[in-house]
């Protein structure tokens, strides 16, 4: 059960899931520490009795300072929600190495850096919850999203191992694998695509399919506030939940991955994304 004594640190609160989680946790009596790279983007949350802090998750020293500030102020941290992330879209051979590195820096290395900061404290208290927001894209891999899929698959693997390693110390690790949730994810993905998808790309004949993948997350998405209410309901249910799948497509896509032979699945996806038209 929530109480005014519980607190939570959430990353990536400027919009979408992060913002709605901050608001919903606050409504349920948590002391919320909301963070974002651009402090101005979350300043309005302070009007809702939410603590706001600047945090570029890829800056490990800043992450350390944020966690230490919370511990110095509250004396404890009950929950960490690793939500910050983005999607790098486009054909893999068109993707510069630095973009792939940035994708992993934000989606994999940054949350692990935060976990390294909070885990010793939680282990010492023999309690705490780490919530890692992954994606069904880390389960079912699709063309033109290879970088994002790979980063989320890696994050899923790290979460699974952390769950086993931290369990003896009373710390829970929950992996959340959303489907389509209403957010600015597609806007950000399209912006990255504009930087990497050039006129001389081998995939220019199916340009529309490449661009459609960048916007796929906003095709009939679940409203972010509904998603966040359902997620927190599950987190507070008292049941042991290792993986939580919510929102449109979150159940169907992993099921396809589990049931279809690889050759058939790749043929279906190849046709869906127009790869069968390339020669």
Average pLDDT of the segment spanning 172-198: 91
Q: What does the pLDDT average to over 160-181?
A: 98
Condensed to tens digits (0 to 9), the pLDDT of residues 26-60 reads: 999 999 999 999 999 999 999 999 999 999 999 99
Mean pLDDT within 195-221: 93
Kindly tell me if the per-residue pLDDT of 244 is higher than 50. Answer: yes
Sorting pLDDT into bands at 50, 70 and 90, what band is 2? very low
User: What is the reported pLDDT for 273?
Assistant: 97
The pLDDT of 256-278, averaged and rounded, is 97
Look at 20-34, 148-162, 215-229 and tell me which has the smallest mean pLDDT.
215-229
Active site residues: 148, 152
Say if residues 57 and 114 touch (Cβ distance below 8 Å).
yes
> How would residue 1 be classed by pLDDT, with cut points 50, 70 and 90?
very low
Q: Average of pLDDT values for 255-263?
A: 96
Is pLDDT of 85 > 50?
yes
Residue 7 has a CB neighbour count (10 Å cut-off) of: 19
Task: Output the CA angle 26-32-38, nearest 5 degrees.
Answer: 115
Q: What is the pLDDT of residue 5?
A: 83
Q: What are phi and psi of 79, to 5 degrees?
A: -145, 140
The whole-angstrom separation of Cα 188 and Cα 229 is: 24
The domains of the chain are located at 7-277
CATH code of 7-277, in short, is: 3.40.50.720
Rounded (5°) CA angle 228-78-239:
60
CA–CA separation, 199 vs 100, rounded Å? Answer: 20
Q: Is a pLDDT exceeding 60 seen at residue 4?
A: no
Residue owning tokens 């409203």:
223
């Amino acid at each position: 059960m929530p109480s005014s004594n519980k607190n939570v640190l959430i990353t990536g609160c400027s919009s979408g899931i992060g913002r709605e989680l901050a608001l919903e946790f606050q409504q349920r009596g948590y002391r919320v520490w909301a963070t974002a790279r651009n402090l101005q983007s979350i300043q309005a949350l302070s009007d809702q009795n939410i603590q706001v802090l600047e945090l570029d998750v890829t800056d490990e020293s800043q992450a350390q300072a944020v966690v230490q500030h919370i511990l110095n102020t509250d004396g404890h941290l009950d929950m960490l929600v690793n939500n910050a992330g983005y999607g790098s879209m486009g054909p893999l051979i068109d993707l510069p190495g630095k973009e792939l590195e940035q994708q992993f820096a934000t989606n994999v290395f940054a949350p692990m850096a935060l976990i390294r900061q909070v885990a010793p404290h939680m282990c010492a208290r023999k309690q705490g919850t780490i919530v890692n927001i992954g994606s069904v894209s880390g389960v079912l891999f699709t063309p033109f999203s290879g970088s994002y899929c790979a980063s989320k698959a890696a994050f899923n693997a790290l979460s699974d191992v952390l769950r086993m390693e931290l369990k003896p110390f009373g710390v829970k690790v929950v992996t959340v694998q959303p489907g389509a949730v209403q957010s600015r994810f597609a806007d950000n993905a399209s912006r990255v695509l504009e930087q990497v998808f050039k006129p001389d790309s081998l995939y220019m004949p199916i340009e529309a399919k490449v661009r459609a993948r960048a916007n796929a997350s906003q095709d009939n998405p679940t409203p972010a506030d509904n998603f966040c209410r359902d997620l927190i309901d599950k987190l507070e249910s008292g049941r042991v939940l290792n993986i939580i799948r919510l929102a449109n497509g979150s159940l169907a896509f992993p099921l396809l991955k589990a049931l279809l032979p690889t050759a058939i699945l790749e043929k279906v996806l190849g046709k869906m994304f127009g790869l069968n038209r390339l020669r």
